[in-house]
């Protein structure tokens, strides 16, 4: 998703302004738009190389009944000086400890691209520990794990080809793409995330016991609809898909009201509980 220095400064400075429609850094791993009156909490997991600020606009678009929290990983934005993660299992355990303050009440997970895989693994580990568990898992623009494991790996591509493939996914400002130095700084954490998840084997068992909703852009070459539908095999609960116009970063395209769909889904869960 598009990220600029001015956006990052605006988000960090909200700690002084106390706005509950802005993400605030609460801990190294957690940014949060705290809303004490919220009925449900949406915890978001960013895409490869992306940071918590990717969801900054959602905090303003979601209604007061939904509180937004976002995961921040090493190697990006305010943690850019830290080394990226190289193993999934320790990361999952660390995140569960780091997110304890928001793993209460009614909450759901949303992950975009590789963030979907991390959200899934965190949800499954929480289930294995006896909860608390999210009410629903939204996986966005990410093929099911069996497709990833069996298919070609982008992180094995030569540097120039990897760069071309990543930029073709979209989600970057035009001026950023035209800045070779900026792209050179951007790609290492993206490559690290692709290497992490394309090398990590996710088994089907144990199955999740919560509903999964798969969201996808209809022209996404990286995660075609057919490969998203495989997520149905990873849950014993309900499964649904929702298709939007656009490609891999369909959720930032004008007219694709993803927060609105999530609002309807989550508040529907709450009203039935």
Tokens of 273: 């509980």
3-state secondary structure 157-169: CCHHHHHHHHHHC
DSSP string, 64-79: TTEEEEEE--TTSGGG
Say whether 140 is catalytic: no
Task: Please pick, among 6, 57, 101, 113, the residue that the annotation labels catalytic.
Answer: 113
DSSP string, 116-183: HHHHHHHHHHHHHTT----S-EEEES---HHHHHHS--GGGS-HHHHHHHHHHT--S-HHHHT-HHHH
Residues 58 and 51: their CA atoms lie apart, in Å, by: 14
* Catalytically active residues, by annotation: 113
């Amino acid at each position: 998703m598009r990220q600029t220095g001015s956006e990052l400064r605006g988000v960090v400075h909200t700690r002084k302004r106390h706005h509950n429609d802005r993400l605030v850094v609460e801990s190294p791993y957690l940014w949060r738009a705290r809303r004490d009156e919220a009925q449900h909490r949406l915890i978001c997991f960013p895409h490869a190389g992306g940071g918590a600020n990717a969801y900054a606009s959602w905090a303003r678009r979601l209604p007061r009944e939904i509180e937004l929290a976002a995961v921040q990983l090493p190697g990006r934005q305010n943690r850019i000086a830290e080394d990226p993660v190289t193993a999934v299992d320790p990361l999952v355990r660390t995140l569960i400890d780091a997110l304890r303050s928001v793993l209460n009440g009614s909450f759901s997970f949303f992950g975009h691209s590789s963030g979907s895989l991390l959200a899934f693994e965190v949800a499954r580990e929480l289930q294995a520990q006896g909860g608390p568990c999210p009410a629903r898992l939204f996986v966005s623009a990410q093929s099911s794990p069996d497709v990833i494991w069996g298919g070609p790996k982008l992180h094995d591509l030569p540097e120039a080809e990897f760069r071309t493939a990543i930029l073709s996914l979209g989600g970057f400002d035009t001026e950023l793409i035209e800045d070779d130095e900026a792209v050179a700084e951007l790609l290492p954490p993206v490559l690290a995330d692709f290497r992490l998840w394309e090398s990590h084997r996710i088994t089907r068992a144990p199955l999740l016991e919560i509903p999964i909703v798969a969201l996808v852009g209809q022209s996404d070459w990286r995660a075609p609809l057919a490969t998203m539908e495989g997520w149905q095999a990873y849950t014993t609960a309900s499964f649904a898909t929702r298709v939007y116009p656009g490609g891999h970063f369909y959720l930032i395209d004008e007219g694709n009201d993803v927060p609105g769909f999530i609002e309807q889904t989550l508040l529907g869960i709450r009203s039935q509980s």
